[in-house]
Amino acid sequence: MYASAHDFQITGGTFNHCAAGDLITIHNSGGKFRRILQRLCRHAVPQNSRQRFPPPGNYSSIPNPAQIAVVEWIAKEPNRNEEPAFVFWLYGAVGVGKTAFAQKISETWGTYLAANFYFSQKDPVRSHISHLIPTIAYQLAIHDELGLLFLPMLNTIISEKPHIFSSNLEEQYQELLYRPCARLLADRPFPRFPRLVLLDALDECRKASDIEKLLSLIRQSRNQIPPLPFKFLIFSRPEPHIRKAFRHPDFHSILESRDLGESISEKDIADYFRSEFEKIGQDDGPHHVGVDWPGEAIIQEFTSRACRQFAYAADVIQYVGDIRGPPMERLETILRNKGSKSSFLELDLCYEKILSDARKEASEVVDTDNNDLVLDVLVHLSRHSKVFHKPRYDKSNVSNVADLFVLPKGEVWALLSCLHSILIVPESEDDVIKFRHTSFEEFLTNQKRSGVDSSVEACRERIAFYLVKRLVHTIQNDVRQKHSIDFQGSVLNACTS
C-alpha cells in the first residue's frame, strides 16, 4: 500500500524499512524486524492501480446505486443485531468503470483499508495468486495501525517456517494471515482497526482453477473459529467460472453483490458528457468552441453509442479534448468515421485483450486448428443479415452458427462462453445472440481499429471456406463409410466361402 510513499515519518513502531527505493523512517529499538520485512518485501507486489495500463479513468463524481451500496457496506460495523456481508462482489462488463471505482475506494476510503491486490494479465507477477498472500501480509506488517500487532507475530512465524513463501496458497493463508489473526483474537477482541481487503480485476488471474481456489478459501475462512476478522471487496467481470464459484451454498449468507453496469444509467453518461464538454468549452486557447458546444443532439448521440460504458465516454472526451487538435474537427472525425485507432485507445486495448483471451480459451475447448474461428464467428454475428439470401440464416443463433461453421452444438456453447463479456448468449439454441455494447460492434467492423475485414465480400468468403470444409468432411465420411461397407462385405464373403 505504501510502495510509493516518501518523505514522512511513522512513530511508535519498532523497525526501519526502505520500500521500493523510497525511504520510510520508523523510530525503533534496534530494528530487529528488518530482515523479516525485507523477506516479505521480496515476495510482495507493489499495489498501485495507477500502474495499470491502460490506466483507470476517473469517470464520474456522481455515485450510482451500486457505488453507494459499496460505500455503505464498507462503513458498516458489525453489531449484535446485524452482521454486514463478509464479501461484496461488484461486477460489470468491460468499460463500466470497475477499476476506476476501486482506485477511488483506495484513495478516499483508505482509513478502512487493510490491504489490496490488483490482478493484471499484462504483469507476470500479478497474473496469478502466488504473490497474493505475501503481499497482503507485507501490507499488514507496514500498516501504520496494524503493523505493530502483526509484525512481531509474522517475525515468529517466518522464523519458524522460512520456506513458507514457496508453499501453496492454503498454507500461506494459514500461516501468514490466519494464524496471526487467531493469536490476536485469542488475547483480546480484534480492535476497531481497518478490516477491508480489496481485490480488483479478479478475472485477470490467468487460471480459472486459481480463482476458484481463492474464492473457496475466502468462504471457508468465514467458518473458521475464530473467523478471519477482515471483509473482502472483490471487483471483476461476471465471467462464468467466477459466477459459478459465487453460487456455492456457503456464499449465500455471507455475500452481497451488485452489477455496476446495471446501476449506470444513460443519464449518468449524458451528465458526464455535458460536464466534460463544458470544461472543453471553457478553454480559452486557440481552439475555443464556447460553453454551449457541441449541443444536446450530439450529447444524446454519444450517449446512445456509449451503451452505458464510461470507458467509451472517457475515450471520446480524451480524444476531443486533446490540445494537439481543434475539438470541432476531432468531434467530426468520431461522428463521421465512428472513431479511429487513436481516438479509442483505452477501449480498443480492452477489446483486443478480450479477443486475445477468448481465442486462447477457445483453442482449449473447441477441437479446431483454425485460430481465426472466434473472429469469424463474431464478424458473422455482426454482419449475418447482409451476407445471406435465405431467411433461415438471417437469425444469429447457436443452431445457425453450428451449421455454418461445421461445429457440434456443444462446442458452439463452449465457444460462446468464452465471449461472455461482449455477448448476451440466450439459453435456447434458437434465440438470437446479441452484442452487449454497440461500441464493440463499431470496433469489430472498423478495420482500422480491429484489423479485421468485415466487408460483406470478406464475410461471404469466410462462409465459403467453412462450407467447403463441411463438404470435404462429408465426402471423407462417405468414403470411410463406403470402405467400411466394402470391407465388411469382403470379410463376410471370406467367412462364408
* More confident of the two residues 442 and 5: 442
Residue 48 has pLDDT above 70, yes or no: no
Residue 51 has pLDDT above 70, yes or no: no
pLDDT at position 8, please?
Answer: 40
Sheet with 9-10, strands from edge to edge, namely 9-10, 22-26, 17-19
* More confident of the two residues 385 and 247: 247
Which range among 197-206, 230-239, 257-266, 308-317 shows the weakest confidence by mean pLDDT?
A: 308-317
Helices 310-320, 327-337: inter-axial angle, 10-degree rounding: 130
Contact 359, 320 (CB under 8 A): no
CA distances from 396 to 379, 383, 400, 427, 462 (A): 11, 9, 6, 14, 16
Q: Where are the beta strands (DSSP E) in 153-222?
A: 196-200
Which range among 281-285, 291-295, 448-452, 492-496 shows the weakest confidence by mean pLDDT?
A: 492-496
Residue 196 has pLDDT above 50, yes or no: yes
Residue 153 has pLDDT above 60, yes or no: yes
Residue 52 has pLDDT above 60, yes or no: no
Which band of pLDDT confidence, cut at 50, 70 and 90, is reported for residue 230?
very high
Distance CA 474, CA 288 (A): 66
Average pLDDT along the chain: 78
- Report the percent of the chain where pLDDT is more than 70: 77
SS3 call for 452:
coil
Q: What is the mean pLDDT of residues 374-399?
A: 74
Which range among 29-38, 379-388, 401-410, 419-428 shows the weakest confidence by mean pLDDT?
A: 29-38
Contact 308, 261 (CB under 8 A): yes
Which band of pLDDT confidence, cut at 50, 70 and 90, is reported for residue 81?
low
pLDDT at position 283, please?
Answer: 72
The grid cell for 354 is 478480450
pLDDT at position 346, please?
Answer: 63
Q: Pick from 362, 390, 86: which is nearest to 229 by CA?
A: 86
Q: What is the pLDDT of residues 123-138, one digit of tens each?
A: 888 888 999 999 999 9
pLDDT at position 72, please?
Answer: 92
Q: Pick from 215, 256, 225, 247: which is nearest to 87 by CA?
A: 256
DSSP state of 110: G
pLDDT at position 385, please?
Answer: 52
pLDDT at position 384, please?
Answer: 55
Which band of pLDDT confidence, cut at 50, 70 and 90, is reported for residue 340?
low
Which band of pLDDT confidence, cut at 50, 70 and 90, is reported for residue 187?
low
pLDDT at position 492, please?
Answer: 41
pLDDT at position 247, please?
Answer: 93
Distance CA 484, CA 96 (A): 57
Residue 166 has pLDDT above 60, yes or no: yes
Place of cell 452487449: 436
Sketch out the chain's domains with CATH numbers: 9-261 (3.40.50.300), 266-337 (no CATH), 368-471 (no CATH)
pLDDT at position 383, please?
Answer: 67
Q: What is the mean pLDDT of residues 284-296?
A: 74
* More confident of the two residues 329 and 298: 298
Residue 487 has pLDDT above 60, yes or no: no
Which band of pLDDT confidence, cut at 50, 70 and 90, is reported for residue 2?
very low
Count of beta carbons in the 10 Å neighbourhood of residue 303: 22
Most confident region among 50-64, 87-101, 184-198, 329-343 by mean pLDDT = 87-101
Count of beta carbons in the 10 Å neighbourhood of residue 451: 10
Residue 66 has pLDDT above 50, yes or no: yes
Distance CA 431, CA 407 (A): 18
DSSP state of 174: I
Q: What is the pLDDT of residues 401-426, one digit of tens each?
A: 888 888 888 888 888 887 877 788 88
Q: Is 71 exposed, middle or buried (0-12, 13-18, 19+ CB in 10 A)?
A: middle
Count of beta carbons in the 10 Å neighbourhood of residue 464: 10
- Residue 3 has φ and ψ, to the nearest 5°, of -65, -25
Q: Is 219 exposed, middle or buried (0-12, 13-18, 19+ CB in 10 A)?
A: buried
pLDDT at position 29, please?
Answer: 34
pLDDT at position 19, please?
Answer: 34
Residue 118 has pLDDT above 80, yes or no: yes
User: What DSSP assignment string belongs to 242-275?
Assistant: HHHHHTSGGGTTTEEEEEHHHH--HHHHHHHHHH
pLDDT at position 5, please?
Answer: 45
CA distances from 115 to 4, 47, 106, 231, 349 (A): 15, 9, 9, 11, 28
Q: What is the mean pLDDT of residues 302-311?
A: 81
Which range among 52-56, 124-128, 326-330, 440-444 shows the weakest confidence by mean pLDDT?
A: 52-56
CA distances from 444 to 86, 248, 335, 379, 464 (A): 40, 36, 17, 7, 21
Check whether the bond before 294 is cis (ω within 30° of 0): yes
**Which residues lie closer than 8 Å to 139 by C-beta, 6 or more apart?**
1, 2, 44, 47, 114, 115, 116
* More confident of the two residues 24 and 325: 325
pLDDT at position 54, please?
Answer: 43
pLDDT at position 149, please?
Answer: 84
